[in-house]
Amino acid sequence: MKQKVQDSAAAFIMVGSLVLLWICFSLLFFLLRTQRPKNFPPGPRILPLFGNLLQLNLANPMKDLERLSKQYGKVFGFFIGSKPAVVLTGVENIKEALVNKAGDFSGRPLDMLISHVTESKGVILANYGPSWKDHRRFALMTLRNFGLGKQSMEQRILVEVSHVTTCLERSVGKSMSPQTLFHKAASNIVCAILFGVRYDYEDAFLLSVINMITDSTKIANGPWAMIYDTFPMLRGLPLPFQRAFKNFDKLKEMSCNMISQHKKTRTPGQPRDFIDCYLDELEKRGDDPSSFHESQLVMYILDLYLAGTDTTSNTLLTAFLYLSTHPDIQERCQQEIDEVLQDNKCPSFEDRHKMPYVQAVIHESQRVGDIVPLSVFHSTVTDTKLMGYNIPKGTLVIPNLSSALKQENQWKFPHEFNPSNFLDDQGQFVKPEAFMPFSVGPRMCLGEGLARMELFLFLVCLLQRFKFVWPEDAGKPDYTPVFGVTLSPRPYKMDVRLRKNN
């Protein structure tokens, strides 16, 4: 019996020693792996295993990135676990990397939550190369053929504006929350382009898609995504980041169902929407080896949906938050709209050239809203240099667009909502080079053209008919946004009133 106890104790000590040895070797391995490369941008001290994870507020790292930039410079390095990353601060550094050296900096990270969830397919997160170029070119051409920048697209948007107007008319004389209204409207416009379908605002399918996309984007830029990216050994555990995979599995299933329906009802050569155009392209290419195939289309649909909804809806939410709390700015917009659109005629996108102040308010809403503060992460596709530093191939690149949108030497009023940031001394609209809410370079947001048209037509039509007032019992407005892949204003309410001339 005594011998058995001794044997058990010896075995326990041996196992404990092996575990301790494994931990020591693991820490040494991570310490060696996370050494700063030669002439890499300066940054905070790297901790074994964690990298610089503990030096960031995972819920919202923006203030930490600003602090690190002041300490280490406008191009600084840090580590997500063992992965090297470079943060670009300020318009000059962002443009140097993403525009002047776009070929080196246009990759996408391959070993992160968001790339695993999307399988690096589609167009937003696809890696830089011929397939990505083909799909981006196809998307831009197809959107143009469906009327982007033409009256046909205006009509699609104005139809959706009429539904929003109907909803707001039911709220006249009351307080209402616009939180989901603009998201539903933007979703419907994109659905009309992609699927040729419009959904009722209470439709279960529409609400389900919006909820899953919103939930996934919060996870993708939240603490659980950072933990997933830092600790690969935890990826198989049932932690909250698994919800993003489940959401996207359901969304991919919905995309597949849409494609199947289109294959049954389409007439080749007579496309009704984006899916039909892609299926036509597949037929045209036949058996030739190509990057075009149905598995790409599944994620392509989700990419375009995401690019065309969150940015637009959150910018509209930002605009009406500031308009309802700045009645003088709202009134000046309405005065300009009335002067240009006499007799309450329906606006056209071309009317923007006659409305410099309205344009300035829209752009200032985009600047202050700072909707995509860290852009979509890039990656270097080759060993390169930036501002005298060596950046190895595969380095994660984070463009801090927020820093450019608030850069003090670029804006008259960098830290307040003021349309004068986009007006010259004669009151004419001007756009400073630091205005980059959709990023810059070849990988800038696909949905920018559509978003610009939507923002103008929605704002003009709604201000033409309604007055929006901050409720007396609502207290002081909180302009602090909720952090995620896209920033969104905190939920708020506004009073809706009909204007006297309506």
pLDDT number for residue 12: 45
The tokens 């009309």 sit on which residue? 192
pLDDT number for residue 33: 53
pLDDT number for residue 15: 45
Q: What kind and span of H or E run contains 169?
A: helix 151-169
pLDDT number for residue 316: 97
Phi, psi of 175 (to 5 degrees): -90, 140
Q: How many CB atoms lie within 10 A of CB 70?
A: 11
Q: Give residue 26's Cα distance to chain centre.
A: 36
b/e per residue 167-202 (b: at least 16 CB within 10 A): ebeebeeebbebebbbbbbbbbbbbbbbbbebbebe
Phi, psi of 409 (to 5 degrees): -85, 5
Q: Which of 297, 306, 315 is nearest to 182 (CA)?
A: 315
pLDDT number for residue 350: 93
pLDDT in tens, the chain (502 residues): 555 445 554 444 554 454 455 555 455 554 445 577 899 999 999 888 888 888 888 778 899 999 999 999 999 999 988 889 999 999 999 999 999 999 999 999 988 888 888 888 888 888 888 888 888 888 888 887 776 555 578 888 999 999 999 999 999 999 999 989 999 999 999 998 898 899 999 999 999 998 898 888 878 777 888 888 888 888 888 988 899 999 999 999 999 999 999 999 999 989 888 999 999 988 888 777 677 888 889 988 988 888 888 889 999 999 999 999 999 999 999 999 999 998 778 899 999 999 999 999 999 999 999 999 999 899 999 999 999 999 999 999 999 999 999 999 999 999 999 999 999 999 999 999 999 999 999 999 888 888 999 999 999 999 999 999 999 998 899 999 888 778 889 999 999 999 976 6
Half-sphere exposure of 344 (CA within 13 A, CB side): 9
pLDDT number for residue 11: 47
Phi, psi of 441 (to 5 degrees): 85, -175
Q: Which of 245, 300, 2, 257 is nearest to 132 (CA)?
A: 300
Q: Give residue 53's Cα distance to chain centre.
A: 22
Structure tokens at 255: 């995309």
Q: How many CB atoms lie within 10 A of CB 22?
A: 10
CA angle at 268 for the pair 267 and 269, rounded to the nearest 5°: 110
CATH class of 37-498: mainly alpha
DSSP-derived pairing of the beta strands 494-498 and 175-176: antiparallel
